Structure 1
Amino acid sequence: MKTAPILPAVVDFSDASTPFSPTYGDYYHTPSGAIGQANHVFLGGNGLPGRWSGRTRFVVLETGFGLGHNFLATWAAWRADPAHCDHLIFISIDKHPLRREDLARAHAQSPEPELAQALLAEWPVLSPNLHTLDFEGGRVRLLLALGDVLAWLPALVAQVDAFYLDGFAPSKNPQMWEPEVFKQLNRLSAPGATAATWCLARRLHEGLAAVGFRVERVPGFARRREMTSAFFEPRFRPSPAPGRIAAAAGAREVLVVGAGLAGAACARALRRRGLSCTVLEAGSAPAGQASGNPGGLFHGTLHGDDGPHARFNRTAALATERELRRLAPSLPWLQWGLLRVERDELTDARLAPMQRLLAATGLPTDYVQALTADEASRHAGLPLAQPAWFFPGGGAVSPAALIAAWLAEAGVAPRTDAAVACLRRIDAGPAPRWQACDAQGRVLAEADAVVLAAGTANDRLSAPWLAGPAWPWLSQRGQLSVAAAGAASALPTRPVAGVGYALALPDGRLCFGASADAGDAEPALRMADQVQNLQRLGQLLPRLRLADHTPSDAADGGLLPLQGRVGWRSLVPDRLPIVGVLPSAVPTQRAEQARFWPRHPGLLICGGLASRGITWATLCGDLLAAQITGEPLPLESDLVDILDPARFGAKLQRRLC
C-alpha cells in the first residue's frame, strides 16, 4: 500500500451550525443537526440498533469520518441499548482528518460531551496508518484509517455488517463514489450486510446494484425527502483466502505457551475478547529470557519510501504508546521520550538530510523530530556529539512490570516450570482441540486453540506442524551491562539509542549495551562484551564517565566492577515478527502468496520479536487475537502478509517460478 503525507482538514467554523470545507466547497452536515442526521440516515438506514441485538460482534464501516458525529451517535446508541452486541467495531476512513484543536471545536457543544471528550483524549497522531482507538474497556473500537479511500478499502481485512456511505457530494468529491469503492464493498460485506446514505445519485444506485446490493429509496431526513438504503444479496461470493479465515471462530479457551512479552500481550488481547487463557511457562517465573532485562526501549522508525517495514514499525510504536499511557498509573516506572542518535557523521552537517527525510515523509512532530546535537543534548541532560531523532511517544519501561500488568489484566497466573515438549491435535468433535504435553507425554493443558509465544522454543514446537521450508530462526545472545548507582558521573534524563543504548534505571543504576551474537550459547558474562558495551557507551555519550575509568582505558585492561545480564532473542533474517496461523500444506495454486496457504485450525504463533519486544508486542498480540476470532484486523492487508508464518514458503515459491 502506497502512503502519502496526511494533510489535515481545513474547516470553516464561522457558522457553528454548518461547518464548511473550503477544500471541497461543501458542508459537513445539514443545518438540521449532525446527530439527528446520523441517527436517521446511517443508524436507521442500516436497521440499527435492532440488528446488533444479541450479537457477539457488529462491524460498521464509514467512508468518511469527517467531524466524527456518526461514530459518536453509533457509540451513544450502543451505550443506550441494553441488548447491544458485546463488541462494536467502527472502521472509518479519512483523507483529511481534523487537527485535535479543530475536533475539540467541532464538539464544543456536543450532545454527547462524555463521549466527545473520550474521543478527543484518544485522537491519534495524524500519520498514514490504521489507528486503533479503544473505548469502554475495549468493547467499542474505532479503527481510523488515515489516507485515501481508494487506497484503504482494498487494504482492509474485515467482514462488515453495515456501511455508512458518507462524504461530500459526488459533484464535490467524485473519488468517494467511484466504481472501485463499490467493488470493495462487495469484498468486505458480511452475509446480510446493509448500506445507507443520504445520497440519491444515479451513479451510487448503479454502483451498488452492480456489486450485489438491492437498492431502495426510503424517507429522508429534514429537507431531504428521500435517502438510500441497500441490502447485500449477491448471486455469488468467492471463498476467502485461507489466511483470512478465523483461526478458531467460536473458541472459548486458548492455551498460550510462554509468559514473556509476546505471551502476556496475547493473553491480555484474548481476555479483552472474552476468551479464557491458560499460560504455560517453562521457567520458574514470567519474563525469563530477554523480557527479564531491567529496562527496555520502545520507539518508532521512519524511512524515505515509507515501505512496509516503516509502516509496521510506526503502527506498532503508536499502539504501544497508547497502551502504555493507559497502563501508566499501574506501572512502577515509565520514561517518556527517546533519542536515537545519528551514526553517520559527528557534526551537525548530518541534520540537513534528516530534515529533508522528515519533510518527505510528512510525519508530524508529535511522532518524530529531527534535533541538532545541542537540542538533543538538552533533551538527554548530557552532551551529545551528533544530531538525533526524537520520538516523543517512545521511551523506556520495565519489561517484567509490563508483563505483570498484562497478566493481571488477563486474570492469569501462569503455570511455571511447565516446559512444553510437544503439541497434540485431537480431532474428535465438531472442531479440533489442542493439547500441550511435557517430555514424559503427560498432558499439561488442553484448549480450543494454542498460541506459540515461547521465544527460542518456538522453533522446536512448530517444526512438526510446519508445511513448506523450515523457518530461518536465529537465536541471538545479548549481554547488557549495568553500572551501580553513583558510578556514573551523570545519568541521561531520557533513554538514548544509536550504537547501543543507555538507560537510567529508577534506582540510579545505568543500564547500557547490548551485544548481539547469533548462535552463541554461552550463559556466563564475558568481559570482552562488557568492554565492547563500554566502548559503545563512550561513542553514544562521550562526556559520561564511570567511576575512575573511561571506556577507552577499559580496553587496555582497566576493568570496572560492572554487573550484567545475558539473554537470548529469537528472530528471523527479515527482521520482522512471525504472527498468524501455521500453514498446514503447500497450495496447488497461488502458492507465491502467503494468504493462500492452507492452515492448521487453532494453531498460531507470535514470535520473532527480537530486540523490539516492547514495541511490537501490543500490536502483535492484538493482531493474533483478531485472527483467532475473525474480527477486523488492526493492520492493512500487505502488512499482515509480511508477518504471515507462510511467508517463507511463499518467497521460495516466487523464486522457483
Structure 2
Amino acid sequence: MKTEPIRPAQIDFTADGVPWAPQFGDVYHTAAGALDQARHVFLAGNGLPARWQGREHFTVLETGFGLGNNFLATWGAWREDPRRSERLFFISVEKHPPARSDLQRVHTGCALPELAHQLIAAWPPLTPNLHSLSFDGGRVTLLLALGDVAQWLPHQLCASVDAFYLDGFAPAKNPEMWDPRVLKALGRLASPDATAATWSVAGSVCDGLRDAGFAVERSAGFGGKRDITVARFTPRFQRREPRGWQSAATHRREAVIVGGGLAGCAAAHALAQLGWQCRVLDRQAHPAQEASGNPGGLFHGIVNPQDGAHARFNRAAALQLRALLPHLLVHRPITGGFDGMLRLQVPSPSKDLALASMRRAIEATGLPPDYVRAVDTAEARGLSGLPLAGPAWFYPGGGWLHPGDLARSWLEDSPRVQWQGNTRVDALRRIGDNWQLLDASGAVLAQAPVVVLANANDATLLLSLRHWPVSAVRGQTTLVPSDVPGLLAPLKPVAGAGYLLPAHAGHVLCGATTLHRDSDPDVRVGDHLHNLAQVERITGSRPVVDAAQLQGRVGWRCVADDRLPVLGPVPDEAALGRSGERLDHPRFVPRRPGLYVYTGLGSRGITWSALGARVLAAWIAGTPCPVETDLRDAVDAARFVSRAARRPPG
C-alpha cells in the first residue's frame, strides 16, 4: 500500500453551531443533531440493534469517520442493548481525521460524554495506518483506517462486514468518496446478509450499490431530507475467501499455544479477548524464561522515507503496544520506562546534513511529532543526559520494559488463559478435528482444534518444513553496575550501534551481540568487551571495569531472512508437488487445518508481539484483520512457499 501523509481536518462552525469543513464547503452533520441523525440513518437504516443480537461478533464499516458521531451512537446503542453481540467491530476510513484538540472541542457537551471522553483519550497519532483502538475490556474495537478510501476499500481491508455506513461529504462536494470503484468494493467485503444505509439518494450512489450486488430502496428521511437510501446485499454469486485467509473451521473456541514467551503469551491474550479458552504450554516452569528472559528491552517504531512494509509494520506494532500498555499497567506493575526513547542517526560527515536528511524523511512521510521527532544534538543530549555526538530520532511513545513482566501481564489479564509449565512438546498429531501434542514417549499432553506454535526456533523442529528460512541468532547482553567509574547512564534508553538502558536495580543493561551459527550457551568475556565498546560509541566514555567480573545473559533470537515476523496458518507444502495449484501468492497457498505459527520476532519481540498476536487471533477467529492486507501478506508464514513456487525450475 502506498502511503501518503495524513493531513488533519480543518474544522469551523456555522452560525448555528454545526461543525463545518471549509475544505469541502459542507457541514459534518445536520442541525437536527449528529447522534439523532446517526441513529435514524445508519443504525435504523441497517436494522440495528436487532441484527446484532445473539451474534458472536458484529462488524460495521463506515466510509467517513468525520467527528466520530456514528461510532459513538453505535457504541452507545450496543452498550444499552442487553441482547447485544459479544463483540462489536467498527471499521472507519478517514482521509482527514480531526486532531485530538479539535475532537475534544467538537465533543464538548456531547450527549454521550463518557464514551466521547474514552474516544478522545484513545485518539492515536495521525499516521497512515489501520489503528486498533480497544474499549469496554476489548469487547468493542474501533479500527480507524487513516488515508484515502479509494486505497483502503478495494484492496487493503480484510473483514466480513455486516453493516455499511456510507457517510462523507455530499457527492457533489467530495466525489472521490462516492466513486463507483469505491462502492463496488463493498461487495468484496460484504457478509452474506449485509446491509447498507446512507443519507444520500443520488442516482450515482444507488447505481453504485446495485453494481456492488445490493438491492436498493428508499426510506423515510431525517433532518429535513425526505428520503434516505437503504440496501440489502443480494449478490448474483457467492464470494469465496482465498484459502490462506480462511478462519479456523471450528465452533469450539479452544486453543493450545506452545511457547510461553512474549509471542505465546500475547497470542493467548489476543485470543482470550475474542472469547477463546487458551492453554499455554512451555518447557520452563515460568513464563518468559528463554529468548524473552532478558531483564530489559526496547520498544519503538522506525522511519523510512519509502515507508515500505518494514516501516509500516514496525510503526503499527509500536502504536498498538502504546495503546495497550495503559490497560496492562493499571492491572499489574511492569518494570520499565514509558516516556520515550532515542535512536541515534547513522553517522554522517556533517551533523547539520544528517539532521536535515532526517527532517526530510519525516516531511516525506508526514509522520506527526507525537509519533517521532528528529531532534538536534543539543536536544538529544538534554533528553538522554549523555554527551551524544549527533542528532537522534526521538520516539515519545517508545521506551523500555521488562519482557517477563509484560508476558505475565498478558497471562494474568484474562481468566480464559491457563498456564501449564514444565511441559515439553516433542511432536504433533492430527486426530479427527483435533491436534494432539505429544511428549517424547508419545503420550498426549493436550489437544484442541487449534494449536499455535509460538516456541521460537523449536517451531522449526515440530513443523519440518523445507521452505522455512528462519534461523537462530545468538545474542549476549551485559549488566554493568551503575556506580562503575566512567559509566554514563542515560535518562531515557538510547539505541544506535547497540543500546543502553537507564539504570535500574543498581545496574545498567547494554548490548547486544548478533552472531549467526553460534550455539555457545556460555557468557563470554569477548562479548562483554564488544558491548562495552558499543557503550563507548554511544556515550563517548568507556566504563572502567573488568569485563570478566560482569554479569550477562545469552539468548537466541528467532529471525526470518526478510527480518519480518512469521505468523498465520501453517502452509501445506505438499501443494508444491500438485499440478494446477496457484501458489504464487501466500493467500492462495493451501494450509494445514487448525495449525498456526507465531515466531520470528527477532530482536523486536516487545514491539511486535502485541500486534502480531492480534493479527493471528483475527485470522483464527475470522474477525477483521488489524493491519492492511498487504502487511498481512508480508508476515504470512506461507510467503516462503510462494517464493519457492515463483522460482524458475532448475
TM-score by structure 1 length? 0.95
What letter corresponds to residue 339 of structure 1 in structure 2? L
Q: Alpha-carbon deviation of 1:134?
A: 0.4
Q: Deviations over 1:351-403 (max 9, x none)?
A: 11111111111100000110112111110011111211000101000001001
1:379: which partner in 2? 383
Instruction: Tell me which of 311, 335, 340 is aligned to 1:337.
Output: 340
Distance 1:67 1:470 in 2: 47
State yes or no: 1:540 paired with 2:529. no
Please give the alpha-carbon distance, in whole angstroms, between the structure 2 residues aligned to 1:152 and 1:334: 36
Partner of 2:438: 437
Report 1:57-456 matches (<5 A).
Answer: 57-153=57-153, 154-329=155-330, 330-335=332-337, 336-345=339-348, 347-349=350-352, 350-411=354-415, 412-427=417-432, 432-456=433-457
2:519 to 521, 526, 532: 521
Q: Report deviation, 1:456.
A: 1.3
Aligned with 1:306: secondary structure?
coil
Residue 577 of structure 2 corresponds to residue 575 of structure 1: no
The alpha-carbon deviation at position 344 of structure 1 amounts to 2.2
What is the SS of the residue equivalent to 1:162?
strand
Give the AA of the match of 2:243.
Answer: P
Q: Check the 8 A contact 1:346/1:386 in 2, yes or no.
A: no
Equivalent pair of 1:578/1:607 in contact (CA under 8 Å): yes
CA contact (8 A) 1:347 1:385 kept: no
- 1:235 is displaced (CA, Å) by 1.2
Counterpart-to-counterpart distance in 1, 2:523 and 2:631: 38
Could you say what secondary structure the match of 1:625 adopts?
A: helix
Question: Partners of 1:602 and 1:16 in 2: how far apart?
Answer: 57
Tell me the distance in 1 between the aligned counterparts of 2:325 and 2:214. Answer: 43
In structure 2, relative to structure 1, the CA distance for the partners of 1:315 and 1:332 (3 Å cut) is: closer
One-letter amino acid of the counterpart of residue 320, structure 2: A
Q: Which residue of 2 aligns with 1:510?
A: 508
Cα distance change on mapping 1:16 and 1:56 into 2, 3 Å:
farther
2:488 is aligned to 490
How far, CA to CA, are the matches of 1:637 and 1:445 in structure 2?
Answer: 33
Is the contact between residue 248 and residue 449 of structure 1 (CA under 8 Å) also seen in structure 2?
no
Provide the rounded CA distance (Å) in 1 between the counterparts of 2:593 and 2:442: 22
Residue type of the alignment partner of 1:529: D
Q: How far apart are 1:187 and its partner, in Å?
A: 0.3
**1:554 — aligned with what?**
none
In structure 2, the residue matched to 1:611 is 603
Tell me the distance in 2 between the aligned counterparts of 1:16 and 1:298: 47
Q: Counterpart of 2:489 in 1: which secondary structure?
A: coil
Distance 1:279 1:505, change over 3 A: farther
Q: Is 1:479 aligned to residue 489 of structure 2?
A: no
Distance in 2, matches of 1:654 and 1:599, equals 18
Maintained 8 Å contact 1:295/1:505: no
Aligned-pair CA distance for 1:505? 4.1
SS of match in other structure, 2:625: coil
Q: Distance in 2 between matches of 1:453 and 1:408?
A: 18
User: Tell me, what secondary structure is at the counterpart of 1:375?
Assistant: helix
- 1:441-497 superposed Cα distances (whole Å, 9 cap, x missing partner): 01101111000000110100122xx4xx42012101100100124225432110000
Whole-Å separation in 2 of the counterparts to 1:33 and 1:16: 11
Q: Please give the secondary structure, in 1, of the residue aligned with 2:389.
A: coil
CA shift, 1:274, in A, is 1.0
Alpha-carbon offset, residue 347 of structure 1? 4.7
- Contact 1:192 1:231 (8 Å CA) reproduced: yes
String of CA shifts for 1:151-209, please: whole Å, max 9, x gaps.
01120000000000000000000001111112210000001100000000000111111
Superposed CA deviations along residues 562-608 of structure 1, whole A, max 9, x for unmatched, are 11000111111100010100112427343111100111121000100
Aligned 8 A contact 2:501 2:510 in 1:
yes
Q: Percent identity?
A: 49
Residue 643 (1) aligns with residue 635 (2)? yes
Q: Report the alpha carbon displacement of residue 346 of structure 1 after superposing the two structures with TM.
A: 6.4
Q: Please say if residues 496 and 503 of structure 1, whose CA atoms lie closer than 8 Å, have aligned partners that are also in contact.
A: yes
Aligned match of 1:33: 33
In the alignment, the residues of structure 2 paired with residue 165 and residue 632 of structure 1 have an alpha-carbon distance, to the nearest angstrom, of 18
Q: Is the 8 A contact 2:482 2:503 kept in 1?
A: no
Q: Is the 8 A contact 2:488 2:539 kept in 1?
A: no
User: Which secondary structure does the structure 2 equivalent of 1:98 belong to?
Assistant: coil
Q: Deviations over 1:223-243 (max 9, x none)?
A: 111110000011102321011
Q: Is the 8 A contact 1:477 1:569 kept in 2?
A: yes
